[in-house]
């Protein structure tokens, strides 16, 4: 097993060339609407950048004013290729992208390794895109951070929330949940369904079903944790592939959210 998990979807979901990738991410960030928020947690989409990069950027751009204070990212997303029971660690020491390597937080891994819902599986992570596509954004904004990536398979929101509670940390720790919304619905139906899902998240209502969000379980786990820690969710962007780069016959929905603590700004 390699100590470094290499990129699996460079050249497919985002540019494989370092300079092109850096330029692409910067263009998304420059074009993103700015919100005055200090986020403890984000929900971001994970499609190819041409489809959802602009929506993801709306969440990531909120990190820029306090990026130097973030030193650890807890990244959760659903599995797409390899089924697993629970939440899977990659068993690697670093993840790489064309922008370089991100060191994994081995100490944080040890803190959750005893939980029955946590396992280690390199195959689960090997071809998974949901976590990988977030890394170039994080690498472009944060200056010095470690990563704890968890691929979420068959588990419960309560089991996800238990993991998040152990890893919650202080302002140095950012939690990122990778999830798209509805899949392959007609354009107008997608708009209606995704608006309902977004409202449920804003109301901290769970569970979020997988037919509404492919990362429904980690999103639901975050909702439980957000209730416990009195976080407030803010909807930053809500669009679909028909709004960005696809046809409107059948579309995939995307949203970005920021979760803030008490007295941490508003959406103006």
pLDDT at 268: 35
Residue 7 half-sphere exposure toward CB, CA atoms < 13 A: 23
Q: Given pLDDT bands bounded at 50, 70 and 90, which one contains residue 87? A: very high
Q: What's the chain's average pLDDT?
A: 96
Could you tell me what percent of the chain has a pLDDT over 90?
96
Residue 241 half-sphere exposure toward CB, CA atoms < 13 A: 21
Question: Going by C-beta distance under 8 Å and a sequence separation of 6 or more, which residues neighbour residue 30?
Answer: none
Assign residue 148 a region (left: φ > 0; alpha: ψ between -120 and 50; beta: otherwise): beta
Could you tell me what percent of the chain has a pLDDT over 70?
97
pLDDT in tens, 122-153: 999 999 999 999 999 999 999 999 999 999 99
**Mind listing the domains of the chain with CATH numbers?**
4-265 (3.40.830.10)
pLDDT in tens, 26-40: 999 999 999 999 999
Question: Going by C-beta distance under 8 Å and a sequence separation of 6 or more, which residues neighbour residue 132?
Answer: 7, 8, 9, 13, 95, 97
Alpha helices, DSSP H only, in the chain?
A: 18-31, 49-60, 106-112, 122-126, 129-132, 135-141, 157-167, 187-202, 216-228, 241-244
52 within 8 A of 246, measured Cβ to Cβ: no
The reported pTM is 0.96
Alpha-carbon torsion (85, 227, 59, 140), positive or negative? negative
Chain position carrying tokens 């420059």: 30
SS3 of 240, please?
strand
pLDDT at 267: 40
pLDDT at 246: 87
């Amino acid at each position: 097993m390699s100590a470094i998990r290499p990129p699996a979807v460079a050249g497919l979901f985002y540019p494989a060339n370092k300079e092109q990738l850096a330029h692409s991410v910067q263009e998304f960030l420059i074009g993103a609407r700015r919100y005055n928020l200090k986020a403890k947690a984000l929900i971001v989409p994970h499609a190819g950048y041409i489809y959802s990069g602009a929506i993801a950027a709306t969440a990531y751009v909120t990190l820029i004013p306090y990026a130097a204070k973030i030193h650890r990212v807890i990244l959760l997303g659903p599995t797409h290729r390899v089924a697993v029971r629970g939440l899977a660690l990659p068993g690697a020491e670093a993840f790489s992208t064309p922008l370089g390597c991100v060191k994994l937080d081995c100490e944080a891994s040890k803190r959750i390794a005893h939980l029955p819902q946590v396992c280690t599986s390199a195959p689960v992570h090997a071809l998974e895109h949901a976590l990988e596509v977030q890394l170039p954004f994080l690498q472009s904004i944060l200056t010095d951070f470690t990563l704890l990536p968890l691929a979420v398979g068959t588990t419960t929101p309560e089991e996800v929330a238990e993991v998040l509670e152990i890893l919650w940390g202080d302002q140095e720790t950012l939690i990122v949940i990778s999830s798209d919304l509805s899949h392959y619905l007609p354009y107008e139906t997608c708009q209606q369904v995704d608006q309902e899902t977004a409202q449920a998240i804003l109301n901290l209502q769970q569970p979020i079903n997988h037919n509404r969000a492919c990362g429904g379980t980690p999103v639901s786990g975050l909702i439980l944790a957000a209730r416990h820690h009195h976080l407030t969710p803010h909807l930053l962007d809500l669009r679909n592939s028909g709004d960005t780069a696809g046809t409107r016959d059948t579309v995939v929905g995307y949203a970005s959210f920021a979760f803030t603590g008490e007295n941490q700004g508003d959406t103006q």
